[in-house]
Chains A and B, each alone.
Chain A
Amino acid sequence: MTAIRLRLNGVEVAKDVAARTSLADYLRERRNLTGTHLGCEHGVCGACTVLVAGEPVRSCLTLAVACDGWQVQTIEGFSGDPVMAALRDAFHRRHGLQCGFCTPAMLITARDLIRRGKAGSEAEIRQGLAGNLCRCTGYTNIVAAVLDAAATQGARDAG
C-alpha cells in the first residue's frame, strides 16, 4: 500500500492505496463517488472521464498512486461552476440523456470543449465527443445540448 494525498473536489484527502487501484476504483470504492462510471475499463467508452490537474483523463487508465499531490475533480465537484450549470440546464431542456450512464463523463468532456473553444459547431462537438460512447440517445440531443450551452457561455462572455 502507498500513501497518497489528493485535493479531491476541493478537499484535501489522504489514503493508502494498492498500486493496482485505478483512479476510478479509488473514487468509487474508497470515496463513494459513484458518479464516475466504469464501462469498458480499457479506455474506449469514456464513461470514467474525470479531471486530473484540470484536464480530462480516463480514470480507468490512470493509477490512483500516480495522482499523488494532484487535484482531482469528479462530477460531484462542479457546484458553482457556470459552464457546468449551463450544460446541466441544456441537457435537461434538450433531453440529452436517457439511461444516464454516459452523462457524467459527457458533461465533463463537453465542459472541457466549451472552455477550450472547441464547441463552435456541430461537427466540432461531434469530433470532441467521439471518445464518449452513448448507447441510448443517438447523440443528436447531446450535441444540441452542448451547442446550446456553448452559445449561453458565448453570450455570457460577450456580456
Chain B
Amino acid sequence: MKRIGKYLLFGVLFLWTAVAFGQDGTLTARSSRTTVGLNEQFRITFSTTERGGEIQPPAFENFLIVGGPFSSQQTQIINGSVNFQRELTYQLMPKEQGTFNIPPATLKSKNGTLKSNTLEIVVKAGAVREDPMAERAKDAFNVEILTSKKSVYVGEPLVLLLRAYWSKPLRNLNIVQTPNFEGVLQNQLDVQQRERREVIDGKNVTVLDFDKKLLTPTQPGTLGGQELKMSAQLQVRTGRADFWGMPEVTFIPQVATAKIPAVTIKPLPSPSPAGFSGAVGELKLERSLSRTEVSGNESITLKIRISGTGNFNTISVPELIAPQGFDVYDPKFNEKIDYTTSGVRGYKELEYLLVPQFKGNFILPEMRWNFFNTKTEKYEEIVLAEESLVVLSGAEAPASMSPTDGMTLQKREVKDIDSDIRYLQSVEDSGTNRGLLWKLIGVLGITTLLLWGLQGIKMGGKAPSLQAAMAKEKKQVLFAFEKGDADRFGLMLNTLENRLIARGMTKEGLQKSALIEAFGPDQGAQLHQLMELCQMAQYAPGAIRDDTQVLNEFKAIWEWI
C-alpha cells in the first residue's frame, strides 16, 4: 500500500509540473508611452513567462538609459492555474526628435530563442505635457561646465569644472551623459564634492561641483564633444494640503543639459625654435645653489625649478648638465601644482646633491631652455649662465677652468714637470714602407695561388680515374729510373705492392702461391720474380747490372696487372 501511495504522489506531482511549466513561453515588450517629448522620461518593459534564460535587451541607440534595469517576477495561482511572469524595465529618455524603433529583446531558453515585438516611439519637441507641477520644477535644476580660459594655445592646459545647482530640494541626482572632448589630452583632477549655498541670478541655490578635468589641447580648432546631461527628481508642491494641513509635495523628474563651452584653440607659431621643450605658459626657469665654495667633505644642493602658469602636466624640468669634478646623485623631484579655474599654477623642481671629488675650480655649465610664452605670444629662451664652483680642499686635482670664458684655450698649471715627465726619445726611421710590404704580399699571394693551380690538385673535384692513377704511378717509376734514384727499386716494389693491395690482396698475403692463384702460373711467377728482384736490389744495388731489362719487365707486367 505504501508503495502504491508513493507512486500516486509522484504521478500527481508530474501532472502538476506539466500543467504549470508546459505552457508555451512568450517575450513581449511594452512602453509606458509611445509619444514623448524631448527630455521626457518613459519606461520600456520586457515580460516573459519563461523561468530560465536571461533577457537580452536591444541597443537603445536613440535613447539614454536614465534608470534600470529593474527586474521583478510574480507567480499567480487562480483556480489551480499557475501563472508565472518576470519583467525587466528600463527608464529611457530620447536623445533627439523623430520616430524611432526599439528593436526586439531576445531570450535564450531550453525551449529555443524568443524574440519580443518591436516598439515604435515618436519623439516630439512640443510633446511636453501641460503639467503645472512640471512647470514649477522647470528651471529649478541646472548644470554648467565652467572653463578656466576661453582661448588657449595648443599644449596650454585648460581646467574644466562640472557644476550642478538647484533651487528646490531634489533626489536621485544622476549623470546621464558625461561630456567627452575631442582632440585633447584629459586628466582627472580631484574635487571635493561638497554642497554649498550660493546666490545665482538672484536665487538662493545649492551648488555642487562634482567633477574637475584638466584638458590639454593637441590640435588647433574649437573645443568640441558631447554635451553634459544630468537627471534628478525635484520636489514640488502639489498645491494640496494633507490631513494636518501641511502642503503636499511630489517629485518631478527633470533633465538638465550643459553644452561644451566655446573655447578657441590656437596653433603655436611655426617654426618652433630648435630645442623647444614643449612648455607653454607664463613660466620661469631658475637654478639655485646652496653655496658655490665648498671644502672637500661638504656638498652642494642645486635646485632647478620651473614655476608659473602652464602645462605642468606634460612638461618636465630640464636635466642638469653635470659639472666635472663632482659626484652627482639622482635628483629628488618636488612639485606643487594647483589646478584652479584660473589655470594651472605651481612649480616642478629637481633637487640635486653635488659632492666634490677633487680640489679645484669647476664650471657649472650654462643651461638654455625654450618655451612658448602665452602672455607675450612668443617663443622665449631662458639662459642660465655658467657659474664657477670652487672646491677648497680634497684630493689633488689642480685643474682650473675659466668660469667666464670656458671655451677659450686655458692652459693648465703643470707643476713638477721637470722631475716627473720623461724626456724626448730619439726617432728611428725604420724605413719600412708598409704599403710596399702589403703590395709584395699581394703579388706573392697571387703567385702562390697560381702555383697551387698548376699542382693539379683538384679541390672538391672528381677522384682521378684508375687509368690516370696507374699512368701517374708508372710515370713516377720511369722518372726515378731515368734519374737513377738510389731508391728506384724500392719505389718500383712499393708501386707494385700498392697496386696489388688496390686489387684486394693483403700485404702479408703477397706470396708466390697467392700471385699464381690470382694471375696464373706464368704471370704470377713473373710478377713474384720481379718483386723478389726489387727487394734484393734495395739491399744490394750492385747486383742489378741492367736497369733497362728490369724496367721493360715492369712495363710488361704493368699492362696486365
Chain A partners chain B:
no
